[in-house]
Structure 1
Amino acid sequence: MSLIRNLMKTPEGAAGIGILSLLVLVALFAPVLSPGDPLRIAGAPLLPPFTDPTFPLGTDRLGRDVLAGIVHGTRTSLVVGLAAALAAIAIGLCVGLAAGFAGGLVDEALMRVVDAFQIVPGFLLALAFVSVIGASAPIVVLAIALGAWPNPARLTRAQVLSIRERDYVASARVIGMHPAEIAFREILPNALPPVLALSAIIVAAAILTEAALSFLGLGDPNAVTWGSMIAEGRNILRSSPSLSIFPGIALVVTVVGVYLFSEGLTKALADRRADA
């Protein structure tokens, strides 16, 4: 609870929580706010925005409701971003914890694997993976996670190397605690806060990567996404720029909200360590 209070005290944290809370509510209540399939043809094509109360943001070339697409796209972006971030952090924590705690040849081998993944830009890795395996929501999540886990792994390893020599860890060894128990009960909880601060950046990057893949036609074809909506509008950008502008604004607001939350969380964690 103290962490939440410290987070709300920072302007960035309060603004980030406000934006993300609104997005989460939109994602949760998308079927209520916009019932039915957002990909269905709902009206006349290319209705301008703010001209028909039935379609406040207009329709696209096929007559699909733009507002419905943005509302349901919020769910897709948040689910993919959070799932990819959780997968990347889980992999990174396990690899970083094993490398830092075991040391020696295990550390060297795991860090070389991390180096190999970091050589390839995350987006190019995701692009190649989805192109080969095929486009679907689980594949996109896995592809994004494969490019995002090295940074949490390196950060976790650095934290573990610092923590494993502390007195309370030595005391746990002396009393005969199992190494795995020491790693997960004594070291991991103290190495976790910096990784959690990094997780918000991973979520933002995952949302942008998913949008870029969808823009290139490599997203889930059965789900409406902001990237696919932007791609749909680029062909008629001169005559109907709103088709790309509105989902672009939604994407920018989401990434800014995640960034502000990350900044606030970093400051809150620093204040918590200072209080301790």
Structure 2
Amino acid sequence: MTTAETTKTPAALGPRALAWRRRRASAARFWKEYRRHRAGVFGLAALVLFALVALTAPLTVGSDVSSVTDAPGRPLESPSGHFPLGTDQFGRNLLGLVIWGSRVSLLVGLLAAVLSVAIGAVIGITAGHFRGWYATVMMRVTDWFLVMPTLVLAIALATVMSRSLGTIVLAIGVTTWPTTARLVRAQTLAVESRPYIERAKALGGGHWHIMSRHVLPNVMPLVLAQTTLIISSAILAEATLAFLGLGDPTVVSWGGLLQDAREAGAVSSGDWWYLVPPGVAIAVVALAFTLCGRAVESVLNPRLGVSR
């Protein structure tokens, strides 16, 4: 936008330019409030660092780091100058494996969280809008998923389906959506009780118009905050399923590294370098996403009064 355009009054701007101007102003306000949360800034910095490490993994460690036949070291070497984190049971560089595994763990966590939040948002919005028998059925299904152990359901799905990353994403996504559905439905009921919704209905607004133009924009902040919180749970769930041997054996992930360490007897033999790096990586990423989620939730809902 040029200097002349920035000095125009809102009435002189076109609808599209005015919309973009409001979005930029809203984003600036959000970032200003977000920066006040030190924990959230720390979490964001950690996530940016992990994202850069994952994106640059093909350049820094190469795609052959997981090759068993071309392993550069001896099995279970302790950390040294050549291998900062030691080697695994096949003689592979453990630092390279941890870096390469970040790609799979972060990708599965993000995709599973998006799937979970999408299912929960759709069910929550529709159940809050249509009500009646549809809402009753959807909420009873949601309650059933809430009382069932999430990990048990995910293990059951991962067991009966093929062992692949898609299976892991599906197993996590379809078992972690009930909380989002409950929260979104409550927010939808609050939004639809406002007077402008009645005016929109009186003017002929249909169900799709009400849900997409009025309800969805108002529940999006809640959906965004819920997504950042669920990602950490999804990463932990992926690591758990991989540790239990239900992940894709052809890919490297942090949970898969812990599973390999268990099979190699790293716990009993005292090979701590095989267990600590992937475990710490999982804990730090999960904590970073949680800190970001809490900060986003606090910014979007200042009444929470989260300490900064």
TM-score, scaled to structure 2: 0.85
Q: Is the 8 A contact 2:229 2:294 kept in 1?
A: no
1:17 aligned residue: 44
Q: 1:25-40 counterparts in 2 under 5 A?
A: 25-40=52-67
Deviation at 1:262, TM superposition (A): 1.2
User: How far off its partner does 1:273 sit?
Assistant: 10
Q: Tell me, in whole angstroms, the C-alpha distance in 2 between the residues paired with 1:3 and 1:93.
A: 22
Tell me if 1:267 matches 2:298: yes
Counterpart contact for 1:156–1:192, Cα < 8 Å: no
Matches within 5 A, 1:175-214: 175-214=203-242
Task: Give 1:47's match in structure 2, choosing from 77, 90, 104.
Answer: 77
Structure 2 residue 280 is matched with structure 1 residue 249: yes
How far apart, in 1, do the equivalents of 2:138 and 2:261 lie?
44
> How far did 1:272 drift?
9.7
1:232 to 255, 260, 263: 260
What is the alpha-carbon distance in structure 2 between the residues aligned to residue 211 and residue 273 of structure 1? Answer: 31
**Which is higher, the Rg of structure 1 or of structure 2?**
2
2:237 match: secondary structure: helix
CA RMSD of aligned residues (A): 1.6
1:8 correspondence with 2:35: yes
Amino acid in the other structure paired with 1:84: A
Aligned residue in 2 for 1:112: 140
Matched letter for residue 198 of structure 2: A
- Counterpart of 1:87 (choices 88, 106, 115) is 115
Q: Which has the higher contact order (CA 8 A, sep 6+)?
A: 1
CA distance in 2, matches of 1:52, 1:16: 30
> Is the aligned partner of 1:174 residue 2:174?
no
Contact persistence 1:84–1:141 (CA under 8 A):
yes
Amino acid at match of 2:301: A
What residue number does 2:22 align with? Answer: none
For 1:86-114, what per-residue CA distance to the aligned partner results, in whole angstroms no more than 9, with x for missing partners? 00111111111110000111100111111
Q: Distance in 1 between matches of 2:32 and 2:47?
A: 17
Distance across 2 between alignment mates of 1:42 and 1:215: 25
C-alpha distance in 1, partners of 2:134/2:107?
Answer: 34
- The answer as to whether partners of 2:123 and 2:181 remain within 8 angstroms in 1 is yes
2:192 aligned to which of 151, 164, 167: 164
User: Aligned-pair distance for 1:213?
Assistant: 0.6
**Residue 217 in structure 1 maps to residue 245 in structure 2:** yes
- What displacement does 1:231 show? 2.1
Asked whether the 8 Å contact 2:163–2:246 carries over to 1, the reply is: yes
TM-score by length of 1: 0.94
- The match for 1:121 is 149
Deviation at 1:174, TM superposition (A): 1.5
Given that residues 203 and 258 in structure 1 are in contact (C-alpha distance below 8 angstroms), is that contact kept between their aligned partners in structure 2?
A: yes
State the number of aligned residues.
Answer: 272
> 3-state DSSP class of the match of 1:147?
coil
Letter in 2 for 1:43: G
CA contact (8 A) 1:233 1:243 kept: yes
One-letter amino acid of the counterpart of residue 239, structure 1: G
Cα distance, 1:80 vs structure 2: 0.4
Q: What letter matches 1:38 in structure 2?
A: V
Q: CA deviation at 1:13?
A: 1.3
Contact in 2 for aligned 1:213/1:227 (Cα 8 Å): yes
CA contact (8 A) 1:34 1:68 kept: yes
- 1:52–1:58 Cα contact (<8 Å) kept: no
After superposing the two structures, state which structure 1 stretch, 231-240 or 163-172, moved more: 231-240
1:11-40: CA deviation from partner (whole Å, max 9, x where unpaired): 121111101110111111111121122321
Match of 1:76 among 100, 104, 107: 104
Instruction: State the secondary structure of the residue aligned to 2:172.
Output: helix
Larger displacement relative to structure 2 (7-16 or 210-219): 7-16
Identity level (%): 38
Gaps spanning 5+ residues in structure 1: where? none
User: Which stretch shows the higher mean deviation, 179-188 or 265-274?
Assistant: 265-274
Q: After the TM superposition, which segments of 4 or more aligned residues of structure 1 sit over 3 Å from their partners?
A: 271-274
